[in-house]
Amino acid sequence: MERKLGFIFDHDKCIICNACVDACNKAYGNLNWRSLIVMPLGESKTALSIACNHCDNPVCMKVCPANAIEKNDMGIVRINDKSCIGCGFCTWACPYEALKFNKDGIMSKCNFCYDRLIGGKGIPYCVEACPTGALSFGWIDEGKADTNYLPPSDITKPRFVVKGPEGVKDLKINTLHEKKEENYLGLLAFTIGSEFALGYTVFKLPFWSFIGFLVPLLTLLLSVNHARRYDRFYRVIYNLKTSWLSREVLFSSLSVLFYLLSILNTLFYYPAVVFLALGVLSSIMIYMVKARPSWYNSETPISFVGTVFTTTLPLAYYFTHSYYYLIPLMLV
C-alpha cells in the first residue's frame, strides 16, 4: 500500500495536558479541529487526541456536491474555501465529526498544517506542542484505528494509528455524540414535497401538472436555506459523479421543467415522472451513509416510499371515492 501522511497517537504517553488542542485553536482561531476525549481507565483515566484522519477513502469528499474537498498526493484532505457552499453534508458522511463550520459559513477542518509542511516552516502545531510525544505524525503504510471506541475503519480507512493503553483491550466509552441539527426545515420540506408530488402525479390527481411543477419548485427554493453560502449555491450540481445531493438537485430541477412543459403537452408527463422518481431515489441515497447506522438500513428507503403513499392515497380516495386506494394505505 502507498505510504501517506497520518497521525499517530499513543495512549500511554498522553498526560491529558490539552496542549495539542490549545496549539491548534491558537493557530486557527478556536475552530476546535482537534479534540481531546478523556475516558475512564480503571481507577485512573486516559485520553484520545483526534482530528481529521485524512482517510484513504474520504467519504466527505465523495458526498460534497460542490467538489470543494480534495486530496493531494501526500494524502492530505483539504477544503477549498472558495468552493464550499456550506451545506454540511460532509458532516453527515464523516464518522469522526472532523468538519466544523467557520464564521464565514463554510466548512473547515484540520489541513495537517499544510502551509507549514510545504513551506518547510515546521511540523503540525498539535504535534509540535505535545510535550511527551503522545501525538506524532509520519508516513504510514496503513492506518490502525480499529478500537471499540472509534467507528469501524472500513468506512473511510483512516490514515491514523492508535496505540491503546498497555494491557487494556476495551475502553467503555463512546467518543461520538449526537449533534444539534440546524437549517433543516427547508431540506425537510423539499424531501417531503418531492415525495408528495411524485405520488400525486403518478395517480394523476386533479391539476397534477401544476402540482408537479409548483410543489417541487417551491420546496427546492426553500431548501436553498440549507446552504449557508447562497452566493455559491449554483455549485450544488458540480459533483454528479459521486454526490447524490448533486444528482438529487439536478433530477428534481429537470422534473420541474418537464412538469411545466406538460401543461402545454401531456407527453412531457413521462420524463417528468421519471426525473422526479430519480430525484426521490437520490434523496434516499443521501441518507444511506455508513457513518449514520440509524439511517443506513432498510427502514430508510421504506420510510421514503411510505411517505409517497401516505401523503397522496387519502387524496386519491377523496377525489375518486375508490376504495382501491385505501388498500395499500392499510399496508403502509
CA distance 111 to 98: 11
Residue 203 lies in a domain: yes
Of 163, 197, 213, which closes a domain? 163
pLDDT of amino acid 225: 83
Note the pLDDT of residue 168. 66
Regarding whether 246 and 147 lie in a shared domain, the answer is: no
Q: 157 and 124 share a domain?
A: yes
> Quick one: 159 and 251 in the same domain?
no
- Answer yes or no: is 168 within a domain: no
| pLDDT score at 3 | 76
| Same-domain status, 153 and 198 | no
Residue 104 within a domain:
yes
Rg (CA), the chain: 24
pLDDT for 230 equals 87
Task: State residue 181's pLDDT score.
Answer: 56
Residue written as grid cell 485520553: 47
Question: What pLDDT shows up at residue 169?
Answer: 63
Residue 305 covered by a domain: yes
pLDDT along the chain (332 residues), means of 10: 86 96 95 92 88 96 97 94 94 93 94 89 94 94 78 91 76 56 76 96 95 96 88 95 97 98 96 98 95 91 93 89 76 62
Same domain, 117 and 221: no
294 in the same domain as 195 = yes
Do 146 and 10 lie in a common domain? yes
**84 strand-pairing partners:** none
pLDDT of residue 103: 92
Integer CA distances (angstroms), 213 to 248, 254, 280, 316, in order: 16, 10, 15, 19
Residues 296, 197 share a domain: yes
Report how far residue 254's alpha carbon sits from residue 170's, in angstroms, rounded to the nearest whole number: 51
Domain that holds residue 13: 4-163
Same domain for 37 and 96?
Answer: yes
Kindly state whether residues 197 and 129 are assigned to the same domain.
Answer: no
Looking at the structure, tell me whether residues 18 and 158 fall in a common domain. Answer: yes
pLDDT score at 50: 95
* Domains in the chain, number: 2
- pLDDT value of position 322: 83
| Whether 223 and 152 share a structural domain | no
* Total-model pTM: 0.89
Residue 30 maps to which CATH number? Answer: 3.30.70.20
Confirm whether 43 is domain-assigned. yes
pLDDT of residue 185: 79
DSSP state of 180: P
User: Does a structural domain hold residue 302?
Assistant: yes
